[in-house]
Chain A
Amino acid sequence: MNKLNASIRIALRALRVNRTRSALTMLGIIIGVAAVIAMVGVGAGATARIQDQIQSIGSNLIMVLPGSISTNGVRLGSGAVVTLTEDDAKAIAAECPSVAAVSPAVRGGVQVVYGSNNWATSAQGVTPEYMVIRDYTMLSGEFFTTQDVDSAAKTAVLGQTVAVNLFGDNDPTGQVIIIKNVPFTVAGVLTPKGQSPSGQDQDDVIILPISTAKQKVLGANKANAKAVSTLMVQATSPEAMNQALEEMTGLLRERHRILPGQEDDFSVRNLTEVFAAQETSAQVMSILLGAIASVSLVVGGIGIMNIMLVSVTERTREIGLRQAVGAKTRDILSQFLVEAVTLSILGGIIGIAVGLTASVLISYFAKWSTEVSVLSIVLAFFFSALVGVFFGYYPARKAAYMDPIEALRYE
């Protein structure tokens, strides 16, 4: 302990003697550590934001869309022909064991009026299961009920964006709004979800009972009054997703009388899977950023090695003298190793401070969310110490194995 203290004291003095040089050498490590912390913070922030967005669309979500069909070689786009109905939704709910809930949905653009305010938004006609499927919670009021759907009640649930644009800070619950000249009572306001993974405002929406939406607002399909534009399905668990997909595909092919070998007239999308790919790419970006930043840490380490080599050469006579008065190999080795590690640890500590400041500045000015974990700080610290040991070892060894006679004679 006594000797280690002495080594640290000698190292600090040597570093103090060459202040500018020590500071410049440390700068390499400072930049390296700061870059690792800031970049990993940016990457982790992006990953966390995507995870939040995936959470916001609802869990275990599968979307069934009307598919393209071809008639006499002419292929029509998705949704061009009515293929999904409310009965399909009921059948899926009843017959697919891996499905937890189903809600048919119709949608369309509407102009909503309250007093002297009006707002263009997207109206969705759904059933109460939709609230469960999308993991909605209510900010105020209640979601409409199955009875409201059955009786085509003129009741509406507002998204936060719509509520703010029509009512400002007032609570819209119980107020009456006008959609296509039809008065609707506001049943409640949804808790905001923010952006979807594809960048849409999920709160710019007005939700109506599907029956009311068809009859009063969007108008029913002339060919089939029961037609819907999508089915939103929730599987019972993440593991049951593929099972649910197979069950639904089989059931819908049977119901739509599609012969084996013919194409589906609907398409099924596993939304969670689509957005999980984005999460993976964010994680890859995070790793890449960290790796690039680590390179600068290694470059900083080479800077330390360079300066330590210069320092060893400059102090050859000192090394010779220390050997002459009794310094053993490991005494000299530890002296220079402690010096290199002191440089890199000091640089590491300053680098952590700079990295934290940088990530705060990045999230403030660039509006990117950053998340600096304690783990990345601890890792950066130990990695910088390791860099000191690794790049300090060669110069220290060179010093320790000098020939004392040569060293004493060195000019």
Chain B
Amino acid sequence: MAAVIEIKDLVKDYKLGEVPVHVLKGISFDIERGDFVSIMGPSGSGKSTLMNIVGCLDKPTAGTYKLDGISVGNLDRDQLAEIRNKKIGFVFQQFNLLARTSAEENVELPLMYTDTPDAERHDRAMKALLAVGLAGREQHQPSQLSGGQQQRVAIARSLVNNPKIILADEPTGALDSRISVEIMAIFQRLNHDDGITMVMVTHDPDIASYANRIIHFKDGVLHKDERIEKPRDAKRDLADLPAEKPEEAVKL
């Protein structure tokens, strides 16, 4: 498998007043196409900074980062925006949906910044919502949806531009355990059936163990890189968990 993410000697410094803070101290690793990677580490370990760079929201101080063969280090604001638009889907802890805006329009948002015609935009948003099991709720606003449903809208939004990778920053941090497993089931399906590379930051070892590979960070360096031969199967776990509310059970 070819690497979709290639990171070599990555360094990131911040200036806090006069004192430079070395957040990432030379990190190298690759992520293969179609992999499902969890990134773990205590706060201050530099994992958020790494995610910002991987997500093309920030640029490294030194070292190279190649996303899908493109070196990101010397691109400007708008070029980075275009890379994010074409190649990356974001899922956030706090969902970050637009209030007073229907699920469908929330999902369409990334396509608003492309030349996609209205009709196609609508079709793709509907397909993405169907893929996360939200058919029939297209016109609901975030305030009318549960936390799990909101996160599924956010996942549909990250899918709608057919990204190479989905970056999820603590995607289950605001959800209870059953809903968290549901979200993991969706991630595993997208990873397995659609071949989308998943990169997920979490500090919950249970959640991390749904991935094929766990990378541990500590003090700005790669601490441990373990490959999991038999990751947990979220779909099977879900069957064992009692459904708290029958209507919440998703047909996956």
Contact = CB atoms under 8 A, between A and B. Distances in A.
Interface of A: 2-3, 6, 13, 17, 317-318, 320-331, 404-405, 408
Given A317-B96, A405-B52, A405-B57, A327 B115 contact: no
Overall SS of chain A's interface? helix
A325 B109 contact: yes
A11 to B, nearest CB: 13
Contacts of B96: 317, 320-321, 408
B157 to A, nearest CB: 7
A325 B85 contact: yes
Given A317-B96, A321-B98, A328 B82 contact: yes
B58 A325 contact: no
17 contacts: A6-B112, A17-B100, A321-B109, A322-B109, A322-B113, A323-B81, A324-B90, A325-B84, A325-B85, A325-B109, A325-B110, A325-B157, A325-B161, A327-B113, A330-B78, A405-B52, A408-B96
Given A328-B78, A329-B81, 5 more contacts: A6-B112, A320-B96, A322-B113, A326-B161, A408-B57
Given A321-B98, A404-B57, A405-B57, A326 B117 contact: no
A318 B113 CA distance: 15
B115 A408 contact: no
Interface in B126-182: 157, 161
Interface string B81-99: 1101110001010001010
B58 A405 contact: yes
B43 to A, nearest CB: 14
B55 interface: yes
A329 B57 contact: no
Contacts of B112: 3, 6
A143 B57 CA distance: 92
A320 B78 CA distance: 14
Nearest to B55: A324
Contacts of A330: 78
B71 interface: no
B61 interface: no
A328 B113 contact: yes
Nearest to A6: B112
Interface string B50-79: 001001011000000000000000000110
Question: Lowest 3 CB-CB distances: which A-B pairs, in order?
Answer: A326-B85, A325-B110, A326-B113
A13 B78 CA distance: 26
Nearest to A17: B100
A148 B86 CA distance: 100
